[in-house]
C-alpha cells in the first residue's frame, strides 16, 4: 500500500486515510481498518463495522486518549477500578429487603412508613421503627395521612426517640400517621 497525501486540509477537520477494507458482497457487512487524522490535534487507529442493518459502529484508538466505542463510549481500564465501588460495598450500603427502609451511602438510612397513633393516653403511642438505627435518629417526624376528620388540623408531637422507636401523640385526631426518620444504620 502506498501513502496518501491530503494536501493542506483545514484544522479541526477529519481525514480518513486509505486502509484495509473487507466487504461481504450481497450480505451487507463491511469492515474498515484505517488511520484517521483530526487535523491539528491527533491521529487515531479506526476500526469501523457496518452490519446488515446498515448502521455503522466505530472503535477508535486515539493518540494520547481513551479508546472510544461509538455505541458504548470510552473504554474503562483496570486503573479506573480504584474509583469504583465493589458490588459487596454497594449491597451493604444500599441493600434492604424492607420497602419502608431506604439505605443511603456512608452508613445512613431513611425510614418511611405508616403507624397507627392516638391511644388516648397523654403519653402518646410508642412507634417502633421497622429497623433499629445504631443511635437516636437525627431527624424524625409524623404527618397526617387523612384520618377522616379534618386531617389538615392534626398536629403530631414526636418525642422520647431512641434507636428503636419514638412516641407519637396526635394533638386532636388519632389514626394512621406517616412517619419519617433519618439516622445512622
Give me the helices (H) in 13-118, please.
87-94
Q: Side-chain half-sphere of 134: how many Cα atoms within 13 Å? A: 5
Give CA–CA dist 101/93, Å, rounded: 12
* Whole-structure pTM value: 0.56
Do 129 and 144 lie in a common domain?
yes
CA angle 12, 37, 18 (to 5 degrees): 135
pLDDT in tens, 23-57: 888 788 899 999 989 998 999 999 999 988 889 99
Q: Extract the residue ranges of the chain whose pLDDT is less than 70.
A: 1-8, 119-122, 145-153
CB 63 within 8 A of CB 42: yes
Range of the domain at 42: 14-82
Q: What is the CATH number of the domain that holds 134?
A: 2.60.40.3940
Do 39 and 65 lie in a common domain?
yes
User: In the chain, how many domains are there?
Assistant: 2
Amino acid at each position: 500500500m502506498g501513502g496518501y497525501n491530503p494536501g493542506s486540509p483545514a484544522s479541526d477537520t477529519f481525514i480518513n486515510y486509505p486502509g484495509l477494507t473487507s466487504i461481504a458482497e450481497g450480505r451487507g457487512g463491511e469492515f474498515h481498518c484505517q488511520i484517521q487524522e483530526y487535523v491539528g490535534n491527533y491521529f487515531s487507529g479506526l476500526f469501523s463495522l457496518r452490519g446488515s442493518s446498515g448502521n455503522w459502529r466505530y472503535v477508535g484508538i486515539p493518540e494520547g486518549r481513551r479508546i472510544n466505542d461509538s455505541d458504548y463510549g470510552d473504554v474503562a481500564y483496570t486503573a479506573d477500578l480504584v474509583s469504583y465501588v465493589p458490588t459487596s460495598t454497594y449491597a451493604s450500603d444500599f441493600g434492604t429487603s424492607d420497602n419502608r427502609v431506604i439505605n443511603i451511602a456512608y452508613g445512613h438510612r431513611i425510614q418511611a412508613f405508616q403507624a397507627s397513633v392516638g391511644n388516648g393516653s397523654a403519653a402518646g403511642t410508642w412507634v417502633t421503627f421497622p429497623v433499629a438505627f445504631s443511635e437516636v435518629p437525627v431527624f424524625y417526624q409524623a404527618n397526617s395521612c387523612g384520618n377522616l376528620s379534618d386531617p389538615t388540623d392534626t398536629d403530631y408531637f414526636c418525642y422520647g426517640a431512641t434507636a428503636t422507636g419514638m412516641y407519637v401523640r396526635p394533638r386532636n385526631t388519632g389514626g394512621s400517621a406517616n412517619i419519617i426518620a433519618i439516622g445512622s444504620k
